[in-house]
Amino acid sequence: MKYPNGVKKEFKYLKSYANRGMNLEDDLNITNKYYLDNNIAVIYKKPTPITINKVNYKSRKDAVITEAHFKVPSTTDYNGIYKGNYIDFEAKETKNISNFPLNNIHKHQIAHLKKIFEAGGIGFLIVRFSKLNITYLLFIQDLLFFIENNTRASIPKSYFDEKGYTIKNGINPRLDYLEIIEKFGGII
Amino acid sequence: MKYPNGVKKEFKYLKSYANRGMNLEDDLNITNKYYLDNNIAVIYKKPTPITINKVNYKSRKDAVITEAHFKVPSTTDYNGIYKGNYIDFEAKETKNISNFPLNNIHKHQIAHLKKIFEAGGIGFLIVRFSKLNITYLLFIQDLLFFIENNTRASIPKSYFDEKGYTIKNGINPRLDYLEIIEKFGGII
Of A39, A64, A120, the CB nearest to B84: A120
- Say what the ipTM of the complex is: 0.85
Please give the backbone phi and psi of residue A163, each rounded to the nearest 5 degrees, phi first: -105, -20
pLDDT of residue B60: 63
Q: For chain A, what are the domain ranges? A: 5-184
- With beta carbons less than 8 A apart as the criterion, state whether A117 and A141 touch: yes
Return the percentage of chain A with pLDDT > 90, whole number.
77
Sheet holding B122-129, edge to edge: B41-45, B78-82, B85-94, B122-129, B134-139, B165-166
- Mutation pick from A1, A40, A42, A78 vs chain B, by most beta carbons of B within 10 Å, is A42
| pLDDT tens-digit series, residues A150-176 | 999 999 999 999 999 999 999 999 999
| pLDDT tens-digit series, residues B71-116 | 988 899 999 999 999 999 999 999 999 999 999 999 999 999 999 9
Q: Which CATH number fits domain B5-184: 3.30.450.20, 3.40.50.620, 3.40.1350.10, 3.30.300.30?
A: 3.40.1350.10
pLDDT band at A99 (very low <50, low <70, confident <90, very high): very high
pLDDT of residue A22: 74
Of A52, A63, A119, the CB nearest to B42: A119
pLDDT of residue B135: 98
| pTM attached to this predicted model | 0.86
pLDDT of residue B15: 42
- Mutation pick from B72, B86, B112, B178 vs chain A, by most beta carbons of A within 10 Å, is B86
Q: Can you tell me the distance from the alpha carbon of B61 to that of A106, in angstroms, rounded to the nearest whole number?
A: 15
Helix axes B140-149, B107-118, angle to 10 degrees: 120
Taking contacts as CB-CB distances below 8 angstroms, the residues of chain B near A64 are 67-69
Rounded to the nearest integer, the mean pLDDT of chain A is 88
Of A2, A69, A85, the CB nearest to B65: A69
| pLDDT tens-digit series, residues B5-31 | 333 333 433 444 444 457 999 999 999
Return the percentage of chain B with pLDDT > 70, whole number.
88
- Mutation pick from B43, B65, B108 vs chain A, by most beta carbons of A within 10 Å, is B65
Taking contacts as CB-CB distances below 8 angstroms, the residues of chain B near A39 are 115, 118-119
**CB under 8 Å, gap of 24 or more: what pairs does A161-170 form?**
A163/A138, A163/A139, A164/A127, A164/A136, A164/A137, A164/A138, A165/A136, A165/A137, A165/A138, A166/A134, A166/A135, A166/A136, A166/A137, A167/A126, A167/A135, A167/A136, A167/A137, A169/A19, A169/A133, A169/A135
